[in-house]
Structure 1
Amino acid sequence: MTDGDWENGIPDIVCLCEHGGVCNGRHRCIAACEAGIPLTGWVARNVPREVIRYADIGLKRTPADALAGRGVSSYRTQLGAAVRLLRLYDTERDTHWSLWSRMRFTAPKIGALFDECYSEVVNTVDEGRQIESGTNCTPSAAAAFAYLMRREGGAERLAQVAYGLAGGTPDVRDILAQARTRLAREAKHRGRKADHNRAPYELGLLITAVMAKEAGKARFTFGETSPMPTLSFAAEQLTAEAV
């Protein structure tokens, strides 16, 4: 609304009950008040209380709803969780990742972060799904990792790593194969709703594995007490690869 991206001609009617309370269109009215702009449109007064339960009466909006309003057509729940994880990675690495589950972001905050910083996450969905399929890690960890790989290492390196984590590395001693096996094994022991708490650990494990491979190491270590590593590649190496 503040950006001028709003049409007052929306046909959805604002409904007021017999006491004057808003029983449909509450979010629209709140947004107009916060934006400080007039809201015009159709208003229905004295709507019987009996029909309120059939209307939208302020249901909680989710990050997926926020991304839907920005044109993201699929994988919205996973990408919303990935945006949160990426923000924590970028700003809270000094706080141990096991405490990240205490940090909550509202749906509007996720939407704003998507707009300001992470809209390109939609361009790595295919690689994220490839990584998720190969390792059975949580979707948000795979999506966030794919985005970081492309951001820090480029599209070619992301493709190579995604291929390796998806099973394209036949050597079981390879670092990516070790990470794939470990994540797949651990996935059998976590619950279906473990994404929120488990994702930071899996993101850290994936980053650690990639950085160990870049350093030519044969093994990697990442556990419950390990700090969140930083995904980075030498500038001269990136320049050479680009050429």
Structure 2
Amino acid sequence: MTDIDTLEKFLAQTSIDPNVSALRPDYRVLLLAVDGLTPGPSDDNSDAFLQAAETKAREALAGRPPEELPHVASWREAYRAFGAKPQRTRNSLEALLRRVEDGLPRVNRLTDCYNAVSMLHQIPLGGEDLARYASSPRLIRADGTEPFDTVAGGETVIEHPEPGEVVWCDSEGVTCRRWNWRQGRRTQLREDTTTALFIFDALDPMTDEAVHAAADDLVAHLTSFGPSVAVTRRLIAGNP
């Protein structure tokens, strides 16, 4: 088990590049490092949580397109700021909301839980296997040479972000493209993940209090995944 000091050091070394902050001075990220998880496939509890979140999301949408929700609209503007087309590459929150009518796939209980929290609190939220990171993450504007491991046509391939694209990366390459659009395979959550990093991305009009409330909700569920779950968090403002 990873000690709490190691988790705190990992978060303390995470950074946001000033070139990203210049795009959206209102950007904040809450990082949640969690150890001591008992991994596993989707189960009745994670399914019930996700079902409740799907119901709540349908009520929030009330027949409207997701881009009419304030936080989704803000993320669409952020994507346009670095040259992405939000109609083609949607932020992770919008992508979930567009699938909610038919129901989301069940992946594993960690992924199911963070997808549920994402919809319940209307915030882009990613989950990563912290043990597979080569260094603490950085949010940067890519130069276009960084490797990104993904799947195309059923085969593992290495792609590269567009120059200027906002990406999360570590010392080995990109872990998530277009801020919160697509995660890489190397650090994805698996059924053997015991140490995880969760990334809560916020723009105005979401408040810091609302971001922490989303994290509290996730922690409440994650603490049931092991007898000695350890949690630490850090909120970073892009332009404090």
Q: Which has the higher strand share?
A: 2
TM-score normalised according to structure 2 size: 0.24
For the pair shown, which has the larger CA radius of gyration, 1 or 2?
Answer: 1
TM-score normalised according to structure 1 size: 0.24
Q: Which has the higher helix share?
A: 1
Higher relative contact order (CA 8 A, sep 6+): 2
